Amino acid sequence: MSAPHLPKVAGIDPEVPVSTQTAAPLREIPAAPGAFIQDRLAGWVSDLTTLHELTERLAATATLDAALNELLHAGAALVGARRGLLVLERAGTTTPSTTLGLGLGPADLGHLETVERSATALGRVLDGPPDAADARDGIATPDLLGDQDLDPRHREVATRLGYAASYALPLASEAAGRLGGAVWFYDEPGEPSEKQRHLVGLYARYATEHLARLTELERARADIATVAEELLPSRLPRIPGVQLAARHRTGPQGGGDWYDALPLPDHALGLAVGSVGGSGPSAMAAMGRLRASLRAYAVMEGEDPVAVLSDLELLLRLTEPARTATALFAYCEPAARKVVLAGAGHTPPLVLGDRRCEYVETTLSAPLGMLACWEAPSVEFSPAPGETVLLYTDGLLRRTGDAMDRAFARLHSAAASVPKADRHDPAAVTDHVLRAMLPDGLDRSDSTEDVVVLAAHFD
């Protein structure tokens, strides 16, 4: 008699033996799929935060040199390198190329320049077609010394400087074109990861746009400074009995501060300083017209400084009624050591000598262009032998950042502290005063004020 059959159930074969072994218990709970995504998102947020911080630091740079240094340091941090080299050379311009090293001294840069340009990754990035893949993604050389095709001179320099790998990246964008390239060096064989390449590529494209803006800005500033210098005296006259020196710096936007020194009949000398309101090309053009007019009036009636400034006031009111200006004109007779001056809203001169350092007391008057008829009494004084008369514009005071009363006191202290050995040299006097007043120098890019200092030393 056969054994009874188990009933059949759809999808289950009752003849298949059932295993008597149980599965091993779970020792670890598998991570939920969302944890992996969270890790990836956290990594992206960290990378974007780093990139944002680096671009903010780059955007805060106001000069080309500062931006290039920031770019080299940030790029090294992104690709994990310690040293680097950057070359800026804009195609189609006569501007000389700029080379900057990170962790490389002048001698190291000199060794690198002896390698043929086409034999280096940086050279291929700089000279290759703009649409080539290398020009977009950069060139990684993970093992320089292991490369059998490496240029012998390049191998020698790499061995001397102690780098074994490099990563070169172009500084290019669609709007700015290609401005140059950068290369970072590794002490050991290696190359940046795909993520590192992506981040440094994003950073480099942003940096290229920033460098292009700064390059154009510096070129514009250089053009403005050139025009400003051309509007001022190309050289100072030589008059017996007096020595002259002048210092002038134009703000980044161009301003209207000016000075003049012109020989007059009978061995006399005319000295003038002034400032036109506003900034930019318009103020510079007005400054040129005002200075030219004052020269003409000084030749005709320079013995009377009040008449000179009165004529200048009338001209300004008739031809440029919306503009104001300050001016100071001094008629000097060096042989007699006699100075007659008049000022229109301008800062008073300062007299420096072995026995005194004081401001000349001038009559308080309004700037040119503010009154229907300008006229103020002139002032006459006699500088002693060996004394220096210092004329200047208020930009010197404003650049200090102090209140005007404190700035005047600071100028007096700076002039009084000129060493006695330098007081007979007007150039040394002006330089000492400028160093004392502006420790950061005249070329500070964040200041919009012009500065004019004119010194006349009487023998």
The pLDDT, as a whole number, for residue 160 is 94
Better-predicted residue by pLDDT, 152 or 129: 152
The pLDDT, as a whole number, for residue 74 is 95
The pLDDT, as a whole number, for residue 282 is 82
- 168 neighbors 121 (Cβ within 8 angstroms): yes
The pLDDT, as a whole number, for residue 426 is 96
- 79 neighbors 184 (Cβ within 8 angstroms): yes
pLDDT band at 19 (very low <50, low <70, confident <90, very high): very low
**Residue pLDDT, tens place only, 347-368:** 999 999 999 999 998 877 888 8
pLDDT band at 3 (very low <50, low <70, confident <90, very high): very low
**Residue pLDDT, tens place only, 301-330:** 889 999 999 899 888 888 888 888 999 999
Of the ranges 37-46, 329-338, 357-366, which one carries the lowest mean pLDDT score? 37-46
**Mean pLDDT confidence for 223-237:** 80
Other C-beta atoms lying within 10 Å of the C-beta of residue 88 = 21
Residues 6+ apart with CB under 8 A from 283: 254, 255, 256, 276, 277
**Mean pLDDT confidence for 265-286:** 88
The pLDDT, as a whole number, for residue 274 is 93
Q: At what angle do helices 281-301 and 305-319 cross, to 10 degrees?
A: 140
Per the prediction, the chain carries an average pLDDT of: 85
The pLDDT, as a whole number, for residue 403 is 93
Q: Which residues pair with 122 in a beta bridge?
A: none
Task: Inform me whether the pLDDT recorded for 16 exceeds 50.
Answer: no
Would strands 388-392 and 350-352 be described as parallel, antiparallel, or unpaired?
antiparallel
Task: Inform me whether the pLDDT recorded for 251 exceeds 80.
Answer: no
Amino acid, single-letter form, for residue 329: F
Question: Following DSSP, what letter does each residue of 217-258 receive, concatenated?
Answer: HHHHHHHHHHHHHHTS-SS---BTTEEEEEEEE--TT-EEEE
Helix or strand holding residue 390 (H, E) = strand 388-392
**Mean pLDDT confidence for 17-28:** 52
**Residue pLDDT, tens place only, 85-119:** 999 986 555 567 889 999 999 999 999 999 999 99
The pLDDT, as a whole number, for residue 1 is 43
**Mean pLDDT confidence for 276-299:** 87
23: helix, strand or coil: coil
**Residue pLDDT, tens place only, 115-138:** 999 999 999 988 877 666 555 678
pTM score, whole prediction: 0.64
**Mean pLDDT confidence for 422-449:** 84
Q: At what angle do helices 33-59 and 64-79 cross, to 10 degrees?
A: 160
Better-predicted residue by pLDDT, 292 or 251: 292
Alpha helices in 128-193 (DSSP H): 133-137, 152-161
Winning range, highest mean pLDDT, from 256-270, 363-377, 440-454:
256-270
Token representation of residue 38: 């969270």
Q: Of 235, 231, 258, 256, whose CA–CA distance to 245 is shortest?
A: 235
Task: Inform me whether the pLDDT recorded for 8 exceeds 60.
Answer: no
Q: For each of the domains in the chain, give its residue range(s) and CATH number, in order of start.
A: 48-224 (3.30.450.40), 233-458 (3.60.40.10)
Sign of dihedral through CA atoms 393, 395, 399, 404?
positive
